[in-house]
Copies of this chain bind each other. A is one copy, B any other.
Amino acid sequence: MDLGSFIGVISGISLIISAIILGGDAHNFFNTPGIMIVLGGTVAATLLTFQFKDVIAAFKAAYFVFTQEKQDPNRMIATMIRLCNISRQKGIIELGKVKTQSPFLKKACGFISDSADESVMRSSLRTEIESLKMRHFVVQDVFRKMGVYSPAFGMLGTLIGLVQMLSQMQDPSSIGPAMAVALLTTFYGSLLSTVFFLPVAGKLKARTVMQVIDLEIIFEGAISILENNNPILVYERLSSFIPPRVRKPLSSMRKG
C-alpha cells in the first residue's frame, strides 16, 4: 500500500471515530449478538456460495494486494527487450534457459526456444491470460458478494431486533435503547461493506488489470521475438501499453 493512501485511510477513519466519540458513549456501538448475526451470516452465505479454498485464496490475495509493491510495467518491457537481444545474439535456443519467477514468461520462452508454431503459442498463451482473468474474477467476486451479504444480514439483524422489541413492548421507555440496538446491525453490515469488502474488491480488480497488462506485454513481446523483430520495433509495440508520461525511452532500457 502506498504511503499516501495509508495516511489518507488512517486520517479518514480517525475522523469517523472522533465524530462518534464526540457524540457520546462509544460503548453504545458495541453489541455482541449483532456482531454475531452480521459476521456469522456473511461467513455462512459466503461459504455456501464459494468453496472454502476460494475464500481462503481471496483473503490471501487481499493481504498481498496491500503489502506487495506494485510493479512498474516499464520493467517488464525492459525484460522483453533484453530477451529479444539475447535471442538475436545467441539464438532462440538460449531463451529456453532463461530463469524467471513468472510461469507465464517461462512458458512463452519455452515456446520460442522450441520454435513453436505462432498460432499454437498464441492460443496457448491467450488461454493462460483468460484463465488468470477468470481466477482473479472469482477472488474479486468473493469480496463483492461479501459486500452484498453483509448489509443484507445487517438488515436481517435489524428486523430480528425490531420484531423482538415490538413483541415485548411492555415498557415504553425501553423502546429507544432497544431500537438503537436493532439499528446497530444495519450499521455493522453497511460499515463492513463500505469500509472493507467493496474497497478490497475494487483494489483486487485494479491489481488484476495491472497483472494482465504485464501478461499482454509478455504475449506481444514473445510474438515479436518469434517473428524475429528488431528491439526498436519490439519497443514500439510494447510501449503502447504504458501511458506516454511514464514511458521510459528505449536507451534507458537497454542498460537495464
Q: Tell me the chain A residues, 7-39 only, with Cβ under 8 Å from chain B.
A: 8-9, 11-16, 18-20, 22-25, 28-29, 33-34, 36-37, 39
Contact present for B167 and A28 (CB under 8 Å): yes
Number of residues of chain A lying within 8 A (CB) of chain B: 111
Contact present for B18 and A36 (CB under 8 Å): yes
Contact present for A183 and B159 (CB under 8 Å): yes
Q: Does A115 contact B (CB under 8 A)?
A: no
CA distance A255 to B63 in the complex (A): 38
A104 to chain B, nearest CB (A): 8
Contact present for B48 and A36 (CB under 8 Å): no
A204 to chain B, nearest CB (A): 10
Chain B hits for A153, CB < 8 A: 16, 194
Q: Does A152 contact B (CB under 8 A)?
A: yes
Name A8's contact: one of B37, B52, B120, B203 (CB within 8 Å): B52
Contact present for B200 and A48 (CB under 8 Å): yes
Contact present for A9 and B48 (CB under 8 Å): yes
Stretch of A78-86, A89-97, A121-129 contacting B (4+ beta carbons < 8 Å): A121-129
Chain B hits for A34, CB < 8 A: 19
Interface positions of A (Cβ within 8 A of B): 2-5, 8-9, 11-16, 18-20, 22-25, 28-29, 33-34, 36-37, 39-56, 70, 103-104, 107, 110-111, 116, 120, 123-125, 127-128, 131-132, 134-135, 138, 141, 145, 148-149, 152-153, 155-157, 159-169, 173, 176-177, 179-180, 183-184, 186-187, 190-191, 193-195, 198-200, 202-203, 206, 209, 220, 233, 236-237, 240-244
Contact present for A12 and B240 (CB under 8 Å): no
Name A47's contact: one of B9, B45, B56, B241 (CB within 8 Å): B9
Chain B hits for A138, CB < 8 A: 206
A196 to chain B, nearest CB (A): 8
With both beta carbons as reference points, the residue of chain B lying nearest to A26 in the complex is identified as B164
Can you list 10 A-B pairs with a CB-CB distance of less than 8 A?
Answer: A3-B52, A19-B33, A19-B34, A23-B33, A28-B164, A51-B206, A107-B236, A116-B233, A149-B194, A163-B187
